[in-house]
Amino acid sequence: MSRSTLLDVEAIRRDFPILAQEVRPGVKLVYLDSTATSQKPRQVIEAVDHYYREQNANVHRGIYQLSEAATDAYEEARKKIRAFINAASWREIVFTRNTTESINLVAQTWGRVNLGPDDAVLISEMEHHSNIVPWQLLAQEKGFDLLVVPVRDDGLLDMDTFDRFLQEHPVKLVAITHMSNVLGTINPIERIIRDAHSAGALVLVDGAQSVPHLPVDVQALDADFLAFSGHKMLGPTGVGVLYGRRSLLEAMPPFLGGGDMIRRVRFGGSEWNELPYKFEAGTPGIAQAVGLGAAVDYLSAVGMDRIHAYEQEIAAYALERLAEVPGLTVYGPDASRKGAVAAFTMDGMHPHDIAQLLDAEGVAVRAGHHCAMPLHERFGLVATTRASFYLYNTMQEVDALIEALYKAKEVFSF
Ligand code: 7TS
C-alpha cells in the first residue's frame, strides 16, 4: 500500500517515543488500540515534565510567583480547549477526570434538578456504559423513562424511531454518542441536535471518540453539553472535559463539595464559586490539564480536518483488506459513515484468542465487549476483536494486522 499524501505519518511517528518499541527483539509494536487510549507525543510528555520541573504549585491559592505560574499554565490549557471546540467562553470548560465523570456530573446536577416521573431521557443502543449507567441510576431514583434508539443491521442509528420517540414522549434530554467506540459509526449529530431542540429537549453529546478524531465545533453544532477525555486525544490520563452552555451551567447546582468550588462557607449555608470553578472541587489534575493543552496544540498544528480525512483513508483500506480474510465479519457501516475503528469476529475463533495471537506478532488490539454490552447483545455477540487507528498509524500497519490474522487462522486450522 502506498503512502498517504494527507499526512506525513513518518514524521508524526517520530514524535511518539513508544511507537519505536519492539515487543520482543525484531518484532515492532503495532499499536491498534487508540480507541481505548491514545499514545502521547513527546510534546505532551515534555509539557508535563516542564510543569513539574518549573511550575509545580497548587492553583488558585498562593500569592507567590510559583503558584501564579501554575495557575496561569492551568488556565492557559482551559483557553486552548475552549478554542479547540470553539466554545463561546472559557467559563464553559469544566475540567473533570474523564468522559465518565463529565456525564455523571450532568446526571447528578442538571438531571437531579430537572428530571422527574413525567420526563424521558433518550439514549441509543450503541452507547458506552458510561452513557447508560448514570441515566439508569438516576432513573431508578427519579422515575423517568429511559428510551433507547435501536441500531440497524448496517450499524446506523434507526432515525425513524428517534423521530417517533421525540414525537411521542416528553423527552427532556437526548444523551448520545457522536461516534461509536465499537462500530465506528459517526452519528448525524447536527440533525439529532436540531430535531431534539425543536422537540424541546437538550442534547448531551458523548464526544469521547469524536473530539480526538474529527473537527467538533460546539457553537456550530449548537450542543448543550459535550463530554470528552484527554487520554484519547494524545493527552494524559486523569483529565477530561465537560463543555456546558453557560446559562445551563449557571443554573446547575454543584457536583462535588469541597475547596475551590465555594465563594464563602458558613455553617448556616455556603455560596458557590463562579464558573467553571463551581464544578471543580478540590485540587484538580493540574499537570494533566497542562498536558492536554499541549495535546490540543499538537492536534491543531496537524489539523483536525486532515486527521479525519487521513483516518477515512486508513479505515477504507482496513475494511478492504479485512474483507479479504475468509470467515471474518466486520460490524458497522461502510468506511464513508465511520471512523477508523473495526470490530470484527472470525468463524470458529474466540475474539480473545485472536487478540492473543495478534499480540504474539506485536499487534496490540482489544477484545471483549468494549464497555458496550447492549450493543454486542443486539448483534448476538458476547465479544469482538477491535482494531482502531489514529494519526500515527500507517497503511503498512494495516498490512501487518492482516498478515497476523492469517497466521492466527493457521494456528486454528490445526
Ligand atoms: N464514551 C465513549 C464513546 C467511549 O469510547 C469511552 C471509552 C467512554 C465514553 C468513557 O471514557 P473514559 O475516558 O471516561 O473511560 N471507551 C473505551 C474503549 O472503547 N475502550 O476502552 C475505553
The CATH number given to 9-31+303-412 is 3.90.1150.10
User: Looking at residue 1, what is its pLDDT?
Assistant: 56
Ligand 1 centre to CA of 241 (Å) is 13
CA distance 282 to 258: 6
CA of 378 to the centre of ligand 1 (A): 19
Give the residue from 387, 349, 337, 347 showing the smallest Cα distance to 367: 387
Q: In angstroms, rounded to a whole number, what is the distance separating the alpha carbons of residues 373 and 133?
A: 12
Residue to substitute in 130, 179, 390 for testing ligand 1 pocket (most ligand atoms within 8 angstroms of CB): 130
Residue nearest to atom 5 of ligand 1 (CA): 181
93 DSSP β-pair partners: 243
* The dihedral sign for the CA sequence 65, 68, 74, 78: negative
pLDDT for 278: 97
Catalytic, 90? Answer: no
What DSSP line would sit under 276-311, residue for residue? TGGG--SS--HHHHHHHHHHHHHHHHH-HHHHHHHH
| Distance from C-alpha of 400 to C-alpha of 406, rounded to nearest angstrom | 10
Residue type for position 305: D
Q: Which residues line ligand 1 (CB under 6 A)?
A: 35-36, 98-100, 128, 130-131, 177, 181, 206, 208-209, 229, 370-371
Closest CA to ligand 1's atom 4: 208
Residue ranges of domains in the chain: 9-31+303-412, 45-301
Q: Closest by alpha carbon to 44, among 255, 262, 288?
A: 288
Rounded to the nearest whole angstrom, what is the distance from the C-alpha of residue 371 to the centroid of ligand 1?
7
Instruction: Give the alpha-carbon dihedral of 24, 28, 34, 39, to 10 degrees.
Output: 80
- 3-state SS of 125-139 is CCCCHHHCHHHHHHH
Catalytic residue among 29, 146, 371, 373: 371
Distance CA 207, CA 243 (A): 10
pTM for the model stands at 0.98
Do 19 and 39 meet the contact criterion of CB atoms below 8 Å apart? yes
Q: What is the pLDDT of residue 158?
A: 98
Q: Which residues of the chain have pLDDT under 50?
A: none
Q: Which three cell numbers stand for residue 8?
A: 506525513
Residue nearest atom 17 in ligand 1 by C-alpha distance: 36
Amino acid at 310: Y
**Cα of 284 to ligand 1 centre, how many Å?**
21
Q: Which amino acid is at 56?
A: N
Asked if the peptide bond before residue 276 counts as cis, ω within 30 degrees of 0, the response is yes
| Per-residue cell: 370 | 468494549
Tell how far the Cα of 242 is from the centroid of ligand 1, in angstroms.
14
In whole angstroms, what is the distance from residue 375 CA to residue 385 CA?
14
**Cα dihedral 304, 84, 280, 174 in deg (nearest 10):** -70
In terms of Cα–Cα distance, which of 282, 285, 249, 297 is closest to 79?
A: 297
The tally of CA atoms less than 13 A away on the side-chain side of residue 294 is 23
Distance set, CA 403 to CA 24, 49, 322, 409 (Å): 18, 38, 10, 10
Domain 45-301, CATH: 3.40.640.10
Number of Cβ within a 10 Å radius of residue 324: 10
